[in-house]
Amino acid sequence: MSKPLLFLDVDGVLNPARPQPASDFDAHDLLGFRVLLSRRHRDWLPELAQVYEVCWATTWEDDANTHIAPALGLPTLPVVRFRGYTAQPGDPRIRLMELFSGAKWPPLLRYANKRPFAWLDDVIPPRLVRNSLVRPDRLLLPIDGQQGLERHHVDRLLARPPRPVFPPQLSRRPGMVW
């Protein structure tokens, strides 16, 4: 059986706005931006890769492999494409007030293609987080964009990774979010 996917954002997750302690983070100038990256993350991400297939789920897209991955000692990771994504038949409806925070949801679902997954991001609609609580095949972990990824998030991901739902086809009720 394949590993569950781990969708990993950069800004707010690996690059927090105001991390404490700041001494755990090194500043990098990448593509004209000041990016804070932690030595802790360099240790934690390989731990997660033992349980998950880690994928970039960031608007950095390929630039994450070019700039972020080397700074953290990561290999090239698969990339979920967000730029240029156009809605496709069967995509879940995104509510008007969630257009920004929910924009990644349809591409993530398409990429996962019914595989179990976890999603780490600082911008996840609360409705999606609530709906995922009853889905053993999904784990949505909102991250505080000021602090970024912390050890308790890693421990949660390792303790109970998402698992397949049997039977593989879930019945969908009208109005239910995937």
102 three-class SS: coil
- What averages of pLDDT result for each successive group of 10 residues across the chain (178 residues)? 94 94 92 94 96 96 97 96 74 56 79 95 88 92 96 97 76 48
- The single residue listed with the structure tokens 């991250």 is 143
Distance CA 124, CA 85 (A): 18
What pLDDT does 178 receive?
Answer: 47
CA distance 137 to 164: 5
Nearest 5°: phi and psi at 21?
A: -75, 140
Instruction: Tell me the longest C-alpha to C-alpha distance in the chain.
Output: 49
Q: Give the pLDDT score at 125.
A: 86
Q: Which amino acid is at 30?
A: L
The pLDDT of residue 83 is 80
Residue 129 has what pLDDT?
Answer: 86
Residue 85: predicted pLDDT: 66
Q: Which two tokens stand for residue 141?
A: 């972990």
Residues paired with residue 140 on neighbouring β-strands, in sequence order:
119
Angle between helix 39-49 and helix 151-159 axes, rounded to 10 deg: 0
